[in-house]
Structure 1
């Protein structure tokens, strides 16, 4: 038996959502963030680099087109058509155990972060290839929200900038106690020069605002 621990409705037909979750080209436009092999070793990222991770995502998963992508940790993404929309669910084995409950809470939170990127890619249809800036460190949620600044709210924990980019915030905006925080800035359609300007702007502000700052991007042509 399985049970859903995360569900969201995407305003796109199931065929489009399936391509986005089951192909490397689709995944590249929404999943996670760019990083190179030398940035590997983080718990959530293997050392092989982002492009290798995308290939592993596709090759190591059990695909049941167009409705299910199952992973070797027991989790799976399921896609259910809802007219012209798609219900995306993250399901897990139905295990009655407190330790599993805690683990799955963490799994759901991580996937929530990424699935908002999926929904943005499919609903907002940004133009051009995605390039990301990943920011991590220790700060309060309020500090992160202030640093990100105003934008158009995008569901629960993201904003869309005036340039049409998604800024996903991994922090509780009401948290006044410093803790691990992260932000993914997903830009679209930028050349090397324009992206370098965006990266440097975010890096300067982030390094000045948080403890233990880390900034990760990928150089052109890496992976």
Structure 2
């Protein structure tokens, strides 16, 4: 079965193509910041999007990565862009087959972040807090753990307001629902984005814009401290944070 992941972005294909090929722009939507001054993310971007790209066609807007995942961009009737990732079939890289579903979840999350970053912020600089790993209770929902269980069944575009367990009152709308994931806008975090759920070791990804150092530090401390109390014992995963100005 062919696995495809799609997102439609309200921006022209040329602009979205640049977001896929310029490492400085890629770091504003792909993954999350980790390592000294985000150096871990920069190294990951270089490995995936620069050093090992077997096929690149700027005119046709086709990009094939080392693991044979294929990006194609298609202009929509209203001048936007449909981004489609066609995943390599299982078995194409046996070393990664055990992580196939996790990688699919990762691409799903990152395309949501790409769309949000382009449409809402023009791919401005961001800061991130990533809660990676899994809850100690395997039957628990990350939304419930965060105190956001009430949004689980809300459709895209629905407003919400809730007090999250880490101590913040969150307010915004349901931005996207994709697979196991829910993405919520967060007005109080500089029109930020909270992506919750999914698999692949992603508990929650919090993206903030225009947040002063002291406020970011406070948010980072509360969210990561809470996560340490509910996640599985440290197995190399944990809470990872970084961003411009860190």
Would the TM-score normalized by the shorter structure come out above 0.5?
yes
- 1:167 is displaced (CA, Å) by 0.8
Q: Kindly tell me: are residues 4 and 137 of structure 1, through their superposed partners in 2, closer, same or farther at Cα, counting changes over 3 Å?
A: closer
**Residue in 2 aligned with 1:143?**
144
Residues 170-209 of structure 1 correspond to what in structure 2 (within 5 A)?
170-171=197-198, 181-209=202-230
Equivalent-residue separation in structure 2 for 1:128 and 1:89 (angstroms) = 23
Note the C-alpha offset of 1:171: 3.7
Q: Which of 27, 50, 72 is 1:59 aligned to?
A: 50
**Which piece of structure 1 moves more, 64-73 or 101-110?**
101-110
CA distance in 1: counterparts of 2:23 and 2:217, whole angstroms: 25
What is the alpha-carbon distance in structure 2 between the residues aligned to residue 58 and residue 102 of structure 1? 22
Give CA deviations for 1:84-118 in whole Å, capped at 9, x if unaligned.
Answer: 11111111345799x89886444322210111001
Question: CA 1:58 to 1:102, structure 2 compared with 1: closer, same or farther past 3 Å?
Answer: closer
Alignment-derived partner of residue 156 in structure 2: none
* CA distance in structure 2 between the partners assigned to 1:209 and 1:92 by the alignment: 33
In structure 1, what is the Cα distance between the partners aligned to 2:91 and 2:201?
29
TM superposition shift of 1:219: 6.7
Contact 1:22 1:63 in 2 (8 A): no
The ranges of structure 1 where at least 4 consecutive aligned residues each deviate by more than 4 angstroms after the TM superposition are: 93-97, 99-104, 219-222
1:106-148: per-residue Cα shift (whole Å, max 9, x none)?
4322210111001101121268520111112332214344268
Partner of 1:143: helix, strand, or coil?
A: helix
Query: Contact 1:68–1:79 (CA<8 Å) still a contact in 2?
Result: yes
CA RMSD of aligned residues (A): 3.2
1:160 maps to 185
Instruction: Tell me the equivalent position of 1:134.
Output: 130
Which range is displaced more, 155-164 or 121-130? 121-130
Using the size of structure 2 for normalisation, the TM-score is: 0.71
Q: How many residues align?
A: 206
After superposition, the Cα gap between the structure-2 partners of 1:38 and 1:127, relative to the gap in structure 1 and judged at 3 Å, is closer
1:32 Cα offset (Å): 0.4
Change (3 A) 1:96 1:185: closer
With structure 1 as the length reference, what TM-score do the two structures score? 0.77
Which sections of structure 1, spanning at least 5 residues, go unmatched?
Answer: 40-47, 173-178
Instruction: State the partner residue of 1:29.
Output: 28
Aligned to 1:175: none
Partner SS state of residue 80, structure 1? strand
Query: For 2:213 and 2:89, how far apart are their aligned partners in 1?
Result: 46
